[in-house]
Structure formats: C-alpha cells, structure tokens
Amino acid sequence: MKEKTRICLFWFILIQPFLDLYWLYNGKLANILPFTLPTIIRILGLLAIAGMFFSQKQNWQKLGKDKWLIAYLILLVIYSAVHLWHVKNFNSVNPNDYSYSTISEIFYLIRMALPLATIYFTKEIEFTKDEFKTVIAGVSGLFSFTIVLSNLFVISLRSYEHGFISANIFEWFVNPNIGYSHMASKGFFNFTNMVAAVLFMLLPLMIYFMFDKFTWKITTLTAVHALAMIELGTKVAAIGLIGGILLGIIAYLIHYFVFKNTKKNNKALIAAILIEAASLAILPFGPAIQRYNYEKYLAQQSDHDLTEETKELNAGLKKYPKGEKREEFLRDFIKENYDEYALNKKFVFKRYPYQYDPEFWLGIMRENGEMRMQNRHLEQAMLEKVRATNNNHLDKYLGISYTRENNIFNLERDFASQIFSLGWIGMLLFVGPYVAILLYGAWKWLRYKKVRTYLVTSLLISIVFILAASFSSGNVMDFLTASLILAFVEGNLLVQIKKSDFKA
C-alpha cells in the first residue's frame, strides 16, 4: 500500500501544470461547479492519498504519537472556527460587503491546508532521489516546453492583458516596436506570476541535476527552462534566471572545492556558463526589459503638468468644503480625470469603486506619479482603508477574509496578503510552516557536516527563491499549483535531512 501511495503522490504532483490551464479558471469550464474544477480534483486526489496512507495501521499510530503535530492540527481547527466567526460581520462602504461568502471562505481554508498535508505525506513516504528528479524534471518540462513551443508557433496566451501574443522570439530581434504585452508568453497557463515563481524555484534543482549527472537530455531541458523564463517576461523570471544560474554555479564550486563532496563535471560547468551567456544576450530584446522601459516612461508621463487639473480640483474643494456637494464634485472629477493621474481604471471603477469613497481616491491623486503607478502600493492602500473602515482591532490578528480581499484585489505580495486575509495568527499557522521548514533545514545544514550535501544546498536555495518570489510578486501561497510543488520540495528536503542524520 505504501508503494501505491507513493505512485499516487508522484502523479499528483506531476499533473499540477495541467491543473493550471487558463480555460479551467475562465469560461464555461470554470463555471461547471460552484468551485473551480482543479481545486475539486486536488481535494479528491489528496483525500485518496490520505485514505491509502492511513489505511496502514502503523501510520495512524505514528501520527497519534506526534504530540507537536496533533497540537498544531488542533490550533488550525480552533483558529479556523474563530476566523469564520470573526469575519462574518463586517462594516464596509460597499453595499454588497465585497461579496463575502462563508462557504467560499471555508473552501479557501481547506485549500490552504492541502499543501501542508502534502508536506507531511511527502516526508513520510520518502521518495528516492531518482523519483524526485523525475517529478521535478517532468514539472519543469511541462511548463517550459508549453511556453517555448506555443511562443514559437505564436499561439501562446499573453503574460500581460488578455488574448494571444502577436510575435514569437525570432521577431524580437528585428522589430523593436512589438510591445512587451504582445511578446510576453505564458503558454496556456493561468497565473503569470505563479508560473514565474515555480520556474524560479525549480531552476537551482535543474542546475543540480545537470551537475550531479550530466546528460544532454537534462541539459537541453535546463536550456528550455531558461528560455521559458525569458519568454514569460516578468521581473522575477528575468532577474531570477540570471541570479539563479550564477548561484547554482557558485553552489557547485563550493561543494567541489570547499566541501569536496561532489564530483568534477566540466561539461555541466561549460553548459551552465553557456546558458547564462545566452540568457544575458537575449534578455535585452525580451519583454521584461521592454516592460521596464515602458513603465519608466509611464512614470515620467504620470508626473506631467497637472496645473489645470489641480486648479480645477482646488477650486471645487474650496467651493464645496464638505458635505454631499463635495462628494458629488469629487465623483465627477475622479471619473473625468483618473486617466490624467495615471490611475488604474480597474481599481478606480471596479475593485474599490470611487463612488463609495471619493475621499480615498482624492488622497491617492495627491501622491506623486511614481507612487500612483505602483499597483502594489494601491492594492495595499485599498485593503488598509477597508480594514480601517471596519474599525476592529481583531482584524490584524484574525483577518478580513480571503473572500473580501480577493474581491477587492489580491495583494501581489505574499505574507502581507495573508496578514490581510487571515490576520497575523492565520498567516503564521498556514504560511509560517514553509518558512519554519526552511529555517530548520538551514540550521541543520549549518550545524551538521553530513547534512551539508549538494542536494540539500540546492533544495534550500530553491525554497529561498520561491519564498522571495512570493514576497516580491505574490500569487504563490494562495495558488495551489505553486504551493503544492513547494510542499513537495520541502517534504523532500526533510527526507534528505533525515537520511543525512542517519548517516551521521
């Protein structure tokens, strides 16, 4: 039965890229059931794995003896009940309460628990190094080849905005006026930031596989992986690619020259350097640099001469210093001039509608252009205003609910996002374990020589990468494709540490 459980978990992780296909979250397929089909599949899959795992008596007995784990599970249940009670009543300027739903919130809490269960099952089942390599290389290949091939045939979805790309990678070098949104490719996947974070996480592991046992197959896959990161066109993917390969090479050299626990592999070293050089050569023509230049231009434009608008605004506020007339004037002014202030239309009209709180948007319009251009700044400002309107000090500890946050805007900065949705307590309980396992692994690596293997080092770097990406760009911890793959990596880190401890 243990072998069957291992096979099921093996395939469960391997199919995660298929469960992030765009059409499963948008259109008819997304509306077949009250909740998205991928989440239903994941819940059923993990229930099946749990059923097989706990059908073995010794696993029940082992769980029962783990007092720390039992205490943690009890805390999760208690927190979840208190959280649901707390967020049920809420004061807001929005008459529909940001479409809060208790059922949706329960479903979210279940979703957040799935990767935590995956860490436990992965640790207990103990995959071999070859099985781990097969899963990671498989996930990398499914993401990377989909992005690269769909870009080549110009059938990829855009990383930014909607629709399909207009040019493939070969056209980047001959037509500098394509525009980054027509170039950046995410294959057929749903969340660009999530895919970028996963590829960033897997990069040091692909570099490790190449140095551990050089083959042209794994080298080609690593090169395609790098190309996919360039074609995605995000800052995380671009910076992560260059820094990731460099750090992977440094890690190898340290283990070869300092720790002397890995073998010489000149072919892999040359291949890694060539991939790095090729990436540096292609990136200036790619969408990430194009986007950076465009946003720099927009930031300059947003600080253009607003003398006339400021004069009109000040005159109106002087004429209507308070009351309903002031609000009417502000609504009209914001509606007519939001574009002049380079405000995100989606934020102003849909996420935190100006009609309900024009004073908030007046405050934003008075900020400098660079601040108005930063979506994460606006996202956080909207959420802070919503929390302030509710005026309940417990919101900081128990959250305002994921449902409300998501319907306003899912803050593109993990950890901060979960503090808004779950509160400090919920963030520590549901997201904290990922950081705790990283710190535990780093402590073991520093303290015990036997734990200081090249694989453990690569796993630690991999986890640091995705946690850094999640904080930088968000859309990782709340999205199961990324969090389940991260859980699998962390579970295998614990396996490798345990094996090293036995050797010690």
Give tens-digit pLDDT for 10-41: 999 999 999 999 999 887 766 676 678 899 99
Burial degree of 267 (CB within 10 A; 0-12, 13-18, 19+): middle
pLDDT score, position 406: 87
Contact 429, 200 (CB under 8 A): no
The arithmetic mean of pLDDT across residues 142-160, rounded, is 97
Token pair in block for residue 234? 């995000």
Q: Given CA atoms 376, 377, 381, 384 in this order, what sign does their dihedral have?
A: positive
- Rounded Cα distance, 65 and 343, in Å: 56
Predicted confidence (pLDDT) at residue 504 exceeds the cutoff of 60: no
DSSP per-residue codes, 296-334: HHHHHHHTS--HHHHHHHHHHHHH--SSHHHHHHHHHHH
| Averaged pLDDT of the chain | 91
Q: What's the rounded Cα separation, in Å, for the pair 363 and 465?
A: 36
CA distance 442 to 197: 21
- pLDDT average, residue stretch 371-400: 90
User: DSSP readout, 215-273?
Assistant: -HHHHHHHHHHHHHHHHH--HHHHHHHHHHHHHHHHHHHIIIIIS--S---HHHHHHHH
Residue with tokens 């991939």: 275
Identify which has the larger pLDDT, 132 or 55: 132
Q: Is 399 helix (H, G, I), strand (E, B) or coil?
A: coil
- 375-390 and 416-430 helices cross at what angle (nearest 10)? 70
Q: Is the pLDDT reported for residue 226 higher than 50?
A: yes
Give the pLDDT confidence of 73-91 residue by residue, as tens digits: 999 999 999 999 999 999 9
d(CA 412, CA 471): 8
Domain residue ranges of the chain, discontinuous segments joined by +: 127-296, 299-408
Kindly report, residue by residue over 244-285, the tens digit of the pLDDT: 999 999 999 999 999 999 999 999 999 999 999 999 999 999
Percentage with pLDDT > 90 across the chain: 68
Q: Are 409 and 382 in contact (CB under 8 A)?
A: yes
Between the CA of residue 265 and those of 52, 171, 255, 288, 351, what are the distances in Å?
41, 36, 12, 32, 53
- Measuring CA to CA, how many Å separate 324 from each of 95, 328, 355, 357? 18, 6, 12, 12
More confident residue, 310 or 458: 458
Beta-carbon contacts of 274 under 8 Å, excluding residues fewer than 6 positions away, are none
Give 430's Cβ-side CA count (13 Å radius): 33
